[in-house]
Structure 1
Amino acid sequence: MTARYALYAAPAPETPLWRFGSSIIGYDAAAASEVGFPASAPCDAPDWRDLTDDPRRYGFHGTLKAPFALAEGTSEAELLEAAMLFAERRRAFTVPALKVSLIGAFVALVPDGPAPDLDALAADCVSDFDAFRAPLTEADRARRLRSPLSARQIANLDAWGYPHVFEDFRFHMTLTGRLDEDRREPVRAALAERYREIAAPMPVDALCLFRQPDRAGRFSILARFPFEA
């Protein structure tokens, strides 16, 4: 069994945003435990657990560097040290506002406007930690290629293990899996109404290293490194 790691932006576990996202997907990745869904729309739908199965596997987060197995000759301890040193050099910033949006067939929280600081953070994570990433397996590459990708995205996949990096990066915090077309806007609107109760600027003040013990397991927070510059 091979563990996988990912570098994510995630709210501090004591914040309303973390509690909101974790309750919507039914899993708290900081505690590595399930949490109950809200007892109101859209989370009271009989199939809500099925609709959130995919984000529950990853935990509430925004991707900075997508999941990867460790490269040969590297270790978890070395990755932890590199993440700590990276965070010591970063300055915290704030995303002024988030909105609940449809991205294709799923619902996510996204910045309500340009987010150059997030884009720069993600770009640095992709490049600075790539020495820790094992090459994609043929099966993983084939799985990614089942989605429509541009020539640049395929080049990104081969170079960096993930197609949506640099110019193709869009920060998002996933709240659902794929939804049938007739469910998308009603679910988005209901989640937007729930989010409105806690909407606030989002501090990005730490680098979170998540770990998945094996492909069948869920990601949980291995370490959270505050930005200290």
Structure 2
Amino acid sequence: MRLVIARCSVDYAGRLSAHLPLATRLLVLKADGSVLVHSDSLSYKPLNWMSPPCTLSVEEVDDDLAAAGVTEVWRVTQAKTADLLVISIHEIIHDSTHDLGVDPGLQKDGVEADLQRLLAEQIEVLGEGHTLVRREYMTAIGPVDILARDASGATVAVEIKRRGDIDGVEQLTRYLELMNRDPLLAPVTGVFAAQEIKPQARTLATDRGILCLVLDYDSMRGLETGHSKLF
């Protein structure tokens, strides 16, 4: 990634035309070919930009531009649309290049795998006396997120979602119907666990004898003192 702080003016020609008068700005040239023009405001949003695929060429200035104080012109052309971004550089204050390496991408916090791991580690959230049998208990139609036993030794199947809706309840219902045919597991009760459970899903779960568990993700990570609750 190349970072350039420069006094420049910017002109954009495409479906719309735009002009940025002379000012000091940050120019970001990324490895994917994109070029972004930032000011010291507007948070993350650039004033103007060109998305890849695009090409950047640096042109010599003519006498008129030189007389106006322009030292070089960057011409950025979009390969697919032929849109054009012209950056007229008057002074480069800073110019540096950095190798950021391969980015692993955004990893969202609080995904179902994290909730599953935390609940397995804190199985007592299901109730006093509960013990973990295993995570990802495989059935003929897919894995149940958590298989546990309650204080009496009865089997408990837990389906975990970030946001619990009717589809999740239906999924757990199918697991329960299948598991209750197994004499080594039956009777199996179900727990539908999520950070948020929609009212329709709660109503359906209650009608089918499935308990609903609202998971407090921050509390389970030790960030708050609240507790997950069974309803």
Fold match by TM threshold 0.5: no
Q: For the pair shown, which has the larger CA radius of gyration, 1 or 2? A: 2
Q: Which has the higher helix share?
A: 1
With CA pairs under 8 Å and 6+ residues apart, which has the higher RCO, 1 or 2? 1
Q: Which has the higher strand share?
A: 2
Specify the TM-score bucket, using the shorter chain as the normaliser.
under 0.3
